Structure 1
Amino acid sequence: MPPLLYADLDEAAARLRRKGEEGTRQIVGLVGPPGAGKTTAAGLLSNLFGSESAVVPMDGFHLANTIIDGTPLKERKGAIDTFDVGGYLSLLERLRHNHEDVIYAPSYRRGLEEPIAASIAVPREVKFVFTEGNYLLARRGRWGEVRNYLDEAWFVETPSETRIARLIERHVAYGMEPAAAEVWANGSDETNARYIETTKAFADLIVRWG
């Protein structure tokens, strides 16, 4: 396996612009543990590329609360088996083939903590699609198929103390008590983070962030 390449966000964007000169749609996966800043990085990249780009989050494929309520999955929401990987793969396939005038993708509404169907429009002329999520480089089960649809996979690397502090702030902002937020960030979130870190070696680029 080749050595990992490191870049900041501007360098990563320049790399993508060069690839975009090939003329075909570029699908870029931003991967990283909870709180790494994937969503913010994807938003900044989309701003740089303007109307030629769209952001499609993996989080739109969270299993709905009506599915996980009353099951052990509720206490592990955000773990790899609490997502609809088949649905996500189907969307990536459609984005890759780009045969439709507009493809509609789901988003994820924090606070509500639910996916919202068909809330992101990706027109055919969009040249750069940024999809961000925790498990894009995972090899477990069908997750191993995700990489087939990505032109680039970038691992967003952030110091753990920054990442955990962000998570606690986020959980509190969306209604958790501070003590519960700290337990969740250092418990369930951190369990997922340790697994995600093991997938870093499969990235094309490590984006230093935060």
Structure 2
Amino acid sequence: MQATTSGDIAELSRRLLRPGLSVGRRIIGLTGPPGAGKTTVAELLGQHLGDQAAVVPMDGFHLANAIIDGTPLRERKGAIDTFDVGGYLSLLERLRRNDEDIVYAPAYRRGLEEPISASIAVPNSVEIVLTEGNYLLAKEGRWSKVRDCLDEVWFVETPQETRMDRLIQRHIASGMDAAAAEAWAHGPDEANARYIAATKPCADLVIQWA
């Protein structure tokens, strides 16, 4: 039976640190639909663990707007084929090997809505890498290799109404008007959410995050 827990950060931190999870660096994935709170959970865990941990978002591998503008991908930004899966896999493999003094990872800048290269420094002293993103449990194409790079994947879920409200407010904060924000949340975001929900049975842990 799939394990379920609340979003108690201290409890989740203890789970990360439990003996026997892996030898050497641990890489934990946090996945879930848009607006579920996976970024917040990852950041709170990173703060709780301090120098032991680093947070590396999958969103740093969004295709840049210069690539997708003027193509059908622009109307589906955030869908699985609007990310550089090869780049993300290469980063995870480097983080797993941990044979470099520092690995630099990209971040995603909300408001700008663009990835920013080499924005996150992960020294080789970091014991736990938390990577969060929508498609960590996807099985299509090269995405199926992502799970092999991770010790565990945790699925973050939150009530639908709360999640939709968060998404709409996020889009408004990024510059959309209210009507456009609601349309995007109920359109492309919701299509992605249905895809991601189908991967939930493959998660090692479900976090109920309100």
TM range (shorter): over 0.9
Partner residue of 1:181? 181
| Structure-2 change in CA distance of 1:51 and 1:73 (3 Å) | same
1:207 aligned residue: 207
- Cα distance, 1:152 vs. partner? 1.0
Q: Counterpart of 1:75?
A: 75
Number of matched pairs: 208
1:127 aligned partner: 127
For 2:4, the aligned partner's letter is: Y
Change (3 A) 1:141 1:22: closer
**Deviation of residue 135 (structure 1)?**
0.2
The answer to whether the 8 A contact 1:12-1:207 is kept is: no
- 5 Å-filtered alignment, 1:164-175, equals 164-175=164-175
1:112-132 Cα shifts (integer Å, max 9, x gaps): 110000000000000010000
> Identical aligned pairs, as a percentage?
67
Question: What SS is found at the alignment partner of 2:146?
Answer: helix
| 1:8 to partner: Cα distance | 1.9
Letter of the 2:49 counterpart: F
Distance between the aligned counterparts of 1:19 and 1:150, measured in 2? 17
Kept in 1, the 8 Å contact 2:21–2:151? The answer is: no
Alignment partner, residue 44 of structure 1: 44
- Identify the residue that residue 7 of structure 1 maps to in structure 2: 5
* C-alpha distance in structure 2 between counterparts of 1:12 and 1:104, whole Å: 26
What aligned pairs does 1:52-131 form with structure 2 within 5 A after superposition? 52-131=52-131
Deviation at 1:133, TM superposition (A): 0.2
My pick for the range that moved more, 4-13 or 179-188, is 4-13
How big is each residue's C-alpha offset from its partner over 1:40-74, in whole Å with a ceiling of 9 and x where there is no partner?
00000001110111000000000001100100000
Please give the per-residue CA displacement for 1:89-114, whole angstroms capped at 9, x wherever unaligned: 00000000000000000000011110
Q: CA deviation at 1:21?
A: 7.8
Q: Is the 1:20–1:26 contact (alpha carbons within 8 Å) kept by the matching residues of 2?
A: no
User: TM-score, normalized by length of structure 2?
Assistant: 0.96
- CA distance in structure 2 between the partners assigned to 1:149 and 1:123 by the alignment: 18
| Unpaired runs of at least 5, structure 1 | none
Distance 1:20 1:119, change over 3 A: farther
Q: Distance in 2 between matches of 1:20 and 1:62?
A: 34
CA–CA separation in structure 1 for the residues paired with 2:193 and 2:22: 35
1:191-206 paired onto structure 2 within 5 Å: 191-206=191-206
- Segment drifting more, 3-12 vs 111-120: 3-12
Q: CA deviation at 1:13?
A: 2.1
Q: What TM-score, normalized to structure 1? A: 0.96
Separation of aligned partners in 2, 1:96 and 1:138:
20
Cα 1:187/1:19, change in 2 over 3 Å: farther
Tell me how far apart the structure 2 counterparts of residues 200 and 19 of structure 1 sit (CA, whole Å).
25
| Secondary structure of residue in 2 paired with 1:56 | strand
Partner SS state of residue 138, structure 2: coil
- The unaligned stretches of length 5 or more in structure 2 are none
Q: What is the alpha-carbon root mean square deviation over aligned residues?
A: 1.1
